[in-house]
Chain A
């Protein structure tokens, strides 16, 4: 059986590679950004950094190497991780909240009203607890019965997200963390369409419209690599960011009928 890391293309490609090349200057960077070019959780933070115009140095970090130096920065060896003023932070959602607080003069990705912020955080909670587990279960399940159950759950979860959409973006006219937290998976729906009979029509007009618009967003395109290189990775769940019981159960073999 092939050693996993021989299958991962070592760098970003396409538009993402251009972005990586533009972010190699460490002397000006406010943030050091440890990334795996292929990882959807990384892409959340990458999009936020681009949207907010924060200066960052991009460092490719292969999570299979479990480099001891990197483990000091991110204890489980996971990407994304950042260093700010010499101090490390990991976990994509924690990093996103941090960027809002540490860079108050950049474009905000949360509205200012506490109530509106709470509704976005509820959307993030829905993404973490309902959407992503079903997405990964559908991706990783081997038998058609489990796939069918996961696919139905995913349609329902996407449709619920769709019901909350208030404009071009989830919260209205401005992009927010609610869009950013899910965009990377909107960009990976084609994998489910090609391999798991996913039919976006089943998610409802609102979600479908959002998904089709969001993948054209500049920050999405500028952080996406060429599709052929993602093909070697999907199904591997390399970033291992989601630690939900559903994700663990999926890794351990999931429900076998």
Chain B
């Protein structure tokens, strides 16, 4: 039986489609993406912010194409091939881009201590926010949903409390965008799904977080890498019914690690 998620809309739409069309020429860096994937969007935003030339290739991770498995062993997106060498895992790619393109706009501060604070924030996002996000999305009964919702608010509160410079913003670390913002932004772009279906209420977070959300959602590289909402619905409806077959969805169901 074909995997339900293999039938998703085959391309980006809206603003994202324009960006895809502008990145079809061969380049030293090939970016393997799923237009709908929040982990992909992290890398996509970074490439745009840093002004790195890339060739965008749509890769449906549910097809598990054999050639692609040579690039990304678990068949997951995002992946990239730079000067013929493959890398996968969004966070590993993000650190790689910082190091391989030292003349591009940095997304990490210079000072080692501040960099460690940004990495601690990323660690918190990975270990607390994202698992709670998926748990809330996929939980079916109201008791699990309430519990996941509470945990999500708490983890967002903690994230905000870690903002540097007393959280004056507009970004997590202050004046400049860093990976701390970028790793969370795609999930913030999907908060509306939780608002519409899981009673998530942004006003129950705090003023600093709301201000950050508003600012991040309006940021050009966020808007330019986002497709039309109705196409995301086909995918997220499966998560809402807990029938999604992504690695993240499966891990959330089994209590395993989100890859």
Contacts and interface: CB of A to CB of B under 8 A. Distances in A.
Contacts of A115: 82, 85, 87, 96, 100
A118 B116 CA distance: 18
B225 to A, nearest CB: 22
B154 interface: no
B120 A94 contact: yes
Interface stretch (B11-19, B38-46, B231-239, B250-258): B250-258
B257 A246 contact: yes
State the majority secondary structure of interface residues on B: helix
Nearest to A90: B120
Contacts of A84: 113
A129 interface: yes
Interface in A93-138: 93-95, 97-98, 101-102, 114-115, 117-119, 121-122, 125, 128-130, 133
What band does the interface of chain A fall in when counting residues whose beta carbon is under 8 Å from B?
Answer: 20 to 34
A91 B88 CA distance: 23
B112 A91 contact: no
A28 interface: no
Interface in A125-178: 125, 128-130, 133
Given A118-B92, A244-B257, A245-B256, A97 B251 contact: no
Interface stretch (B123-131, B141-149, B194-202): B123-131
A244 B256 CA distance: 7
A54 interface: no
B92 A125 contact: yes
A117 B94 CA distance: 12
A236 interface: no
A200 interface: no
A220 B82 CA distance: 36
A249 interface: yes
A245 B113 contact: no
Contacts of B92: 118, 121-122, 125
A158 B127 CA distance: 23
State the majority secondary structure of interface residues on A: helix
A227 interface: no
Contact of B257 (A114, A117, A129): A129
Nearest to B135: A245
Given A129-B259, A133-B256, A245-B255, A94 B119 contact: yes
Contacts of B252: 245
Nearest to B113: A87
Nearest to B162: A75
A45 to B, nearest CB: 13
Interface in A57-108: 84-85, 87, 89-91, 93-95, 97-98, 101-102
B113 A243 contact: no
Interface string A15-42: 0000000000000000000000000000
Contact of B100 (A94, A114, A119, A245): A114
A98 B113 contact: yes
21 contacts: A87-B113, A90-B120, A95-B116, A98-B112, A98-B115, A98-B116, A102-B113, A114-B99, A114-B100, A115-B85, A115-B100, A118-B87, A119-B87, A121-B96, A129-B257, A133-B256, A244-B256, A245-B131, A245-B258, A246-B256, A255-B255
Interface of A: 84-85, 87, 89-91, 93-95, 97-98, 101-102, 114-115, 117-119, 121-122, 125, 128-130, 133, 243-246, 248-249, 255
Interface of B: 82, 85, 87-89, 91-93, 95-96, 99-100, 112-113, 115-116, 119-120, 123, 127-128, 131, 251-252, 255-259
